[in-house]
Chain A
């Protein structure tokens, strides 16, 4: 099963749409609620990253019987130093984003913690691709 969502840069009102949609699908598939929570946390953080940092992005979701694969790709500034970005507390978010309670440097670490596998590739000035894979059966 494959589907996709568009994510608009700067539009916080829509952040969480993909996570909410994926949650509904996984519930219908009777996936363990604990597994659903991890997936949804990782995806929500990914959406917020696109909204907070990029111009626009897309979330592609592919679900089969054993695993979920999520690809979050954006057109944006890219991440110059991925290791640094993975450090808890490191953030380049704007003051406005921080005031909303985002931009605490917890997004990528949260994503890593809540996925079985994470791949990040990024080109400065072009954009970032984050791929998350998680097993659906415990």
Chain B
């Protein structure tokens, strides 16, 4: 499944990194600890977090995640959005909480 399909099915907003909307998604990882994500997220996964600062995109880029989803409609920092555009990694937002969103994404990718 591609990032753009997930955006449509889970009603996500695209905040940045549109270049990567065709990225293939292999799974997901939910965490707000950057070191935990650094150590455990896999390439091609969608990373779900409440963190909004720029280092999120640094980690996302180094680990080559498919996309980042910020939960609870939290607003990403300006430089987070610009780095998402520079890296071409989609930065998405959802009104759902991490629990709910992770469950929905899990169902979608399992199905």
A110 to B59, CA, bound (A): 14
**B85 CB-CB contact with A under 8 Å:** no
Q: Which residues of B contact A48 (CB under 8 A)?
A: 34-35, 55
Nearest CB in chain A to that of B31: its residue:
A101
Give the complex CA separation of A16 and B35 in angstroms.
13
Q: Write out, one digit per residue, whether chain A residues 45-65 have a CB within 8 A of any chain B CB (1) or not (0).
A: 100100000000000000000
Overall SS of chain A's interface: helix
The total number of A-B Cβ pairs within 8 Å is 63
Range of interface residues on A (Cβ < 8 Å): 20 to 34
A110 touches B61 (CB 8 A): no
User: Could you tell me the distance in whole angstroms from the C-beta of A99 to the nearest C-beta in chain B?
Assistant: 9
A40 touches B62 (CB 8 A): yes
Would you give 27 A-B contacts (Cβ < 8 Å), ordered by A?
A12-B54, A16-B55, A16-B61, A20-B58, A20-B61, A20-B62, A37-B43, A40-B62, A41-B39, A41-B62, A44-B38, A44-B58, A44-B62, A45-B35, A48-B55, A100-B34, A101-B32, A101-B35, A101-B49, A101-B51, A102-B33, A102-B35, A104-B36, A106-B33, A106-B36, A107-B35, A110-B35
Given contacts A12-B54, A16-B62, A19-B62, 10 further A-B contacts (CB under 8 A): A12-B55, A16-B59, A16-B61, A20-B62, A37-B43, A41-B62, A44-B38, A44-B58, A101-B49, A107-B35
